[in-house]
A and B are shown apart, each in its own frame.
Chain A
Amino acid sequence: MATESAVSTLSVHDAEHDHHEELSFLRKYVFAEDHKTIAKQYLISGIIWAIIGISFSVIFRLQLGFPQLKLEFLRPLIGNWIDETGKLSPDFYLALVTMHGTIMVFFVLTAGLSGTFSNFLIPLQVGARDMASGFLNMLSYWFFFLASMLMFVSLFLETGPAAGGWVVYPPLSALPQAHMGSQMGMTLWLSSMALFIVSQLLGGINYITTVINLRTRGMSFSKLPLTIWAFFLTAILGLISFPVLLSAALLLIFDRSFGTSFFLSEIYVAGEALPNVGGSPILFQHLFWFLGHPEVYIVMLPALGITSEIIATNSRKPIFGYRAMIASMMGIAFLAFIVWAHHMFVTGMNPFLGSVFMFLTLIIAVPSAVKAFNYITTLWRGNIRFTPAMLFSIGLVSFFISGGVTGLILGNSALDIQLHDTYFVVAHFHLVMGASSAFGLLAGVYHWFPKMFGRMMNEKMGYVHFWMTFIGIYCIFFPMHYIGIAGFPRRYYAFTSNDFTKNIFQDMNSFISIMAVITFSAQFLFLYNFVYSLIKGKKATQNPWHSNTLEWTTPVVPGHGNWPGEIPAVYRWPYDYSKPGAKDDFIPQNVPYSATPESNLPHENELISLEKAIEAQNYNDQFKQPH
Chain B
Amino acid sequence: MVYIVGLLSIVFLALAFMVFGRLTNVMKGVSTPEVGEEQYGTTSNKLNGAMFMVFLVLGVIAATWSFVHSTQYFLPEASSEHGRRTDTLFWVSMAIVTGSALLTNIFLFYFAFKYQYKNGRRATYYPENHKLELYWTVTPAVVMALMVFTGWQAWRDIMSEAPAGAQEVELIGKQFNWIARYPGIDNNKLGNYNYKLIDNNNDTGIDFSDENAFDDFTNTTELHIPVGKPVLIRIRARDVLHSVFIPHMRVKMDAVPGMPTRFWFKPEKTTEQMRNETGNQAFKYEIACTEVCGRGHFSMKMNLVVEDEDSWKKWCAEQKPLLTSYPEYASRIPSNLRAKAAKYLPAADSTATASAGGAATAGNASLR
Contacts and interface: CB of A to CB of B under 8 A. Distances in A.
Nearest to A546: B37
Contacts of A363: 144
B97 A386 contact: no
A55 B71 CA distance: 31
B279 interface: no
Contacts of B117: 383-386
Contact of B140 (A358, A365, A507): A365
Interface string A298-336: 000000000000000001111111111000000000000
Interface string B117-134: 110011111111100110
A417 B251 contact: yes
B86 A492 contact: no
A348 B240 contact: no
Given A414-B158, A464-B19, A578 B123 contact: yes
B125 A578 contact: yes
B45 A385 contact: yes
A579 B125 contact: yes
B292 A164 contact: yes
A580 B126 CA distance: 10
B86 A414 contact: yes
A51 interface: no
Contacts, number: 374
Interface of A: 90-91, 94, 164-165, 169, 171-172, 175, 178-180, 264-269, 273, 277-282, 315-324, 346-348, 351, 354-355, 358-359, 362-363, 365-366, 369-370, 372-377, 379-386, 391, 394, 397-398, 401-402, 405-406, 408-409, 412-415, 417-418, 420-422, 458-461, 463-464, 467-468, 470-471, 474, 478-479, 482, 485-487, 489-495, 497-500, 504-505, 507-508, 510-511, 514-515, 518, 521, 525, 532, 536, 538, 541, 544, 575, 577-580, 585
15 contacts: A171-B240, A282-B256, A321-B128, A348-B261, A358-B155, A383-B118, A386-B112, A386-B117, A394-B109, A401-B101, A478-B66, A500-B286, A505-B73, A577-B125, A578-B124
Given A281-B241, A458-B26, 17 more contacts: A265-B258, A346-B252, A355-B155, A373-B104, A384-B112, A402-B105, A408-B96, A409-B90, A415-B93, A468-B16, A486-B75, A491-B298, A500-B247, A505-B73, A511-B5, A514-B8, A538-B30
A394 B108 contact: yes
B108 A379 contact: yes
B108 to A, nearest CB: 5
A376 B73 contact: no
A383 B86 contact: no
A417 B86 contact: yes
The 4 closest A-B CB pairs, nearest first, are A265-B258, A348-B261, A351-B159, A405-B97
A169 B241 contact: yes
A514 B96 CA distance: 31
A386 B128 contact: no
Contact of A178 (B2, B19, B107, B294): B294
Nearest to B56: A398
A418 B86 contact: yes
Given A175-B240, A281-B259, A354-B159, A536 B93 contact: no
Given A317-B123, A409-B90, A494-B298, A267 B251 contact: no
Contacts of A391: 48
Nearest to B40: A385
B243 interface: yes
Interface in B15-38: 16, 19, 22-23, 26, 29-30, 33-34, 37
B133 to A, nearest CB: 5
A335 to B, nearest CB: 13
Contacts of B89: 412, 414-415
A82 to B, nearest CB: 16
Contact residues on B (Cβ < 8 Å of other chain), bracket: 35 or more
A417 B148 contact: no
Contact of B126 (A175, A369, A381, A544): A381
B37 to A, nearest CB: 6
B105 A365 contact: no
Contacts of A413: 151-152, 155
A474 B66 CA distance: 13
A532 B258 CA distance: 57
Contacts of B90: 409, 415, 418
Nearest to A279: B258
B245 interface: yes
A577 B123 contact: yes
Given A169-B291, A324-B133, A578-B124, A394 B97 contact: no
B320 interface: no
A518 B12 contact: yes
A252 to B, nearest CB: 14
Nearest to A417: B252
A581 to B, nearest CB: 9
A318 B195 CA distance: 65
Contact of A489 (B4, B105, B288): B288
Interface string B84-109: 00100110011011101100110111
